[in-house]
Amino acid sequence: MPYTLRPEDGLTVDADSARYVAGHVDTGDRWVLNFGPQHPATHTTLRLVLELDGERVARCTPHIGYLHSGFEKLGEHLDFNQYVTIVSRMDYLSPIHNDITWHLAVERLFGIDITPRCKVLRTIMNELGRIQNHLLCVAAAGLDLGALTGFLYGFNPREKIYDIMDFISGQRFHPDWTRVGGLMQDLPDEQTFKRMVKNLIREDLPVALRDIEGLLNRNRIFVDRTQGIGVISREEAINWSLSGPCARASGVARDLRKDMPYLCYQDNWDGQGAGAVGFNVAVATDGDTLCRYLVRLEEIKQSIGIIEQLIDAIPQGPVDTFADSKVVKPDKKDVYGSIEGLIQHFELIMSNRGWKAPVAEAYGWNEGPNGEQGFYIVSDGGPRAWRVKTRPACFINYQVMQKLTEGHMLADIVAILGSINVVAAELDR
């Protein structure tokens, strides 16, 4: 190892809590520093208890539990449509991705196959959510090390994505856009939607990526601060159950869009033989902070390619499936124009009625910006889940923070933490 640490008087590096500090014999060589939970560089509400040997990190003990959100418990009290307002608060860097993941799980429980138009729109918005998340991560990679300009380059196109979210749903930050078997509404105007998306992927994003890459990719300070920092091997990434860019940067070529395809990532998504969208899985081998940054940059480019394949191929037809099956809420014109539509509407929204779900269990997954996100639902036949369990990518990835930081400089903590892209709302559920 390119560094040495003074002995720690028999304390084990595998301690999983801060209790090892009790009874610690102070040799004058080590001291304990709290990093967070209110430090601006943590990006979110979490705490790292660092034991330092000079400026070297001898031990890092991650702490969570500062948000008290109760996301999973709320799934037992809200119905299958209402709960989308809760899940979008989990990974709040790309809320649309949470909405899609949740209703993919619900539709798997009900056995619903959504319409081709809905699949295309969800796929486009899923990729926009990925770009939205990655832009913040790669921009903050520069900001964490003192490059403010790169942060501005990444944030400008993110505003355009918020404009698209606002257009399709009426809300910028938490769109709450999906519904069981469809969407809250069809596109207000398809041509306007296409124009906004095309302007983003053909004009704004290429300029932003060129500026970020020109500023950081060969910047000697940035490369020296990220290359060889926070390294994890392919075998270790698999053993720690990492997913997403954190795993792919270490050579794990796993992407749920390829390995367990869904939506337009699978063949015959329209029922008429349409092929899956084409894209390459971005994989690196060094497993360091720089590779995690580069993988995210490449994934933005691949997402642009996916959207290009779909934006001019949006099928016509309804966005909601099974309009007469008592699963999807009818259009407003049917609610106000027919007694059948009015009855179906109230059957679904009244507190003593609602869905008659099968007594079963289901798991729905989505390849999110930070890795695999999934929801496991246990249904007792009622209008809401009996139990909900989420598999958040950030919670799994965050556990490796102790290993990544050990032996590095205190100044490297910020770069390593930013490369994992931890969202605390996925830690505290």
d(CA 128, CA 18): 40
The Cβ of residue 398 has, within 10 Å, a number of other Cβ atoms equal to 23
Residue type, position 209, single letter: L
Phi–psi pair at 82, nearest 5 degrees: -65, -35
DSSP conformation letters of 324-390? TTTSSPPPHHHHHH-HHHHHHHHHHHSTT------S-EEEEEEEETTEEEEEEEE--SSSS-SEEEE
For residue 360, is it within any domain? yes
308 Cβ partners below 8 Å, 6+ apart?
201
For residue 276, is it within any domain? yes
Tell me the helices (H) and strands (E) count for the chain, helix number first.
18, 8
For residue 51, is it within any domain? no
For residue 41, is it within any domain? no
For residue 296, is it within any domain? yes
CB 316 within 8 A of CB 302: no
The predicted structure's pLDDT at residue 65: 80
The predicted structure's pLDDT at residue 12: 54
d(CA 193, CA 95): 19
The predicted structure's pLDDT at residue 2: 45
For residue 288, is it within any domain? yes
Q: Which two tokens stand for residue 72?
A: 């999973």
For residue 153, is it within any domain? yes
For residue 93, give the CATH number of its domain.
1.10.645.10
d(CA 222, CA 225): 5
The predicted structure's pLDDT at residue 234: 94
CB 25 within 8 A of CB 9: yes
Tokens 């699949």, residue located: 119
The predicted structure's pLDDT at residue 18: 56
CB 209 within 8 A of CB 300: yes
d(CA 395, CA 375): 14
Grouped pLDDT means (10 residues each) for the chain, 429 residues? 49 56 57 79 80 86 83 90 91 92 94 92 96 93 88 91 94 90 91 95 95 93 92 93 94 94 93 91 94 95 96 90 69 81 79 80 94 94 91 91 88 91 84
How many independent structural domains does the chain possess?
A: 1
Q: Which phi-psi region, left, alpha or beta, contains residue 280 (left: φ > 0; alpha: ψ -120 to 50)?
A: beta
Whether a cis peptide bond, with omega within 30° of 0, leads into 157 is no
pTM above 0.85, yes or no: yes
Domain that holds residue 292: 71-391
CB 343 within 8 A of CB 103: no
For residue 419, is it within any domain? no
Percent composition of the chain: helix, strand, coil (DSSP 3-state, to 5): 45, 10, 45
